[in-house]
A and B are shown apart, each in its own frame.
Chain A
């Protein structure tokens, strides 16, 4: 479980996250929703210690991580797929996966697990990653993060710019990971995607979690979506 309590963070003198608290339980998908500039991506970066926390606690299974150097956070069990995928373009699919596996010295079992999740990648192992379609690149970005065998997976707008079939595939993958006990935190703007794959929705505004609601209590016309996302 990832527990965030009283987190404040920002860039230099500018505070973006203010006294923010929420939890992401194992075997649950937690969606973070909010308008542009609300602090969603900054929250993801703060969880990865890319943005320094001025106050508060980030704890993975009661181990605090907020003071770790950024490169040690993935090794502690939190993996992050940023917005825009950011693959190692000239490398092949296989090499991208290999780089992911090496970090925590994972072997063929992990490799097979991620390739079973994304059979399409298995067919394209020798293809240079920059030549993949947008959806395939997103699959590879997620697969590479999963090579770390994380306990918590952070996905920043994973369905952005993808066609419906790819969105469904990503959604199915998230649900499979949930069934395997992974805690997943997703920044997502699409209401339909949120309703179909999340267990909880945290609405963020002005750097704070303003509402933390079970998805079952939300419908597509919920006023919370209009209030915090504007749809």
Chain B
């Protein structure tokens, strides 16, 4: 079997497993997996910027929140239908990523990290400051009447799971296509050696900005879907925690691998879920797990597996 066929089989197999899982999972875990799939889309977007292009951002919460508010505000204030609202969320994430990128990409490395963090913090404070329009710290609930698409009520388990799966599958297959496309190769080239890429005729600013916008589109649709599926839009999702989470998912699962963000989100979500049932110091356990990861698998789980055998893993 060729590397390409193996790769398609693996990714389509994962989608098939997730599709089948909904029929066996209890309601609690079905909701968890729905949440994980949406967060994995967010992390996939982060992976495009960080894992494939080498852009270590601490501002992705801004793009996630932009998607969430871009979807929620038109429904809350203008009574938009769900599909146009989701599209508005997608566009908001990408557009904001483009705007931030235009300024932040004039820096690199640690400076880029700090500038993106500052933008995200400014976005968070803006949401709080404009509380009469955004709901401030409390946020707002997305009206359940606006969470019905083609007769499917997304506030109920089965349609929510399917909607999350459709989003996840679409995002993953697009990501797979992207990283195998010529532009995907250029992103990796940029990550590996920006100077050398420039000497082959690539404009680093343009490549990185494009990657950041694509990443923002992923974060935007993930934020919009999260608000739509779970019925709540709030400023909490613009805090730094939501910039760090996708980074941890990607690092745990494997930066620069297509499935890595999903695996990282799945493991991290359940690690927190299980340990928080035993102790209030669950973040200590998470920290210890990350230390072990850095020591024994610094390229993440799938990154290490790829390095040690499955070279075809995209």
Contact = CB atoms under 8 A, between A and B. Distances in A.
A144 B202 CA distance: 14
B192 A89 contact: yes
B201 A86 contact: no
B135 to A, nearest CB: 45
A220 interface: no
B189 interface: yes
Contact of A91 (B189, B195, B198, B203): B189
B196 A69 contact: no
Interface in A70-118: 70-72, 74-75, 79-80, 82, 86-91, 95, 98-100, 102-104
Report, as a range, how many residues of chain B touch the other chain: 10 to 19
A69 B203 contact: yes
B204 interface: yes
Nearest to B196: A86
A102 B197 CA distance: 11
Contacts of B189: 88, 91, 99
A91 B179 CA distance: 12
A71 B186 contact: no
B192 A71 contact: no
Contacts of A87: 196
Contacts of A75: 201
A35 to B, nearest CB: 25
Contact of A74 (B182, B192, B200): B200
A86 B192 CA distance: 9
A49 to B, nearest CB: 10
A85 B195 CA distance: 12
A79 B182 CA distance: 20
Interface in B149-180: none
B264 to A, nearest CB: 20
Nearest to B192: A88
A90 B199 contact: no
A61 B201 CA distance: 19
A45 to B, nearest CB: 10
Nearest to A104: B201
Contacts of A48: 199
Nearest to B184: A95
Contacts of A224: none
A100 B195 CA distance: 14
A70 B198 contact: yes
Contacts of B199: 48, 50, 70-71, 74, 79-80, 82
A75 B199 CA distance: 9
B182 A91 contact: no
5 contacts: A91-B188, A91-B189, A91-B192, A98-B185, A128-B311
Given A90-B188, A99-B185, 5 more contacts: A71-B204, A99-B200, A144-B200, A145-B200, A148-B201
10 residue pairs, one from A and one from B, having the closest CB atoms: A103-B201, A74-B201, A88-B192, A75-B201, A71-B198, A86-B196, A103-B200, A71-B203, A99-B189, A102-B182
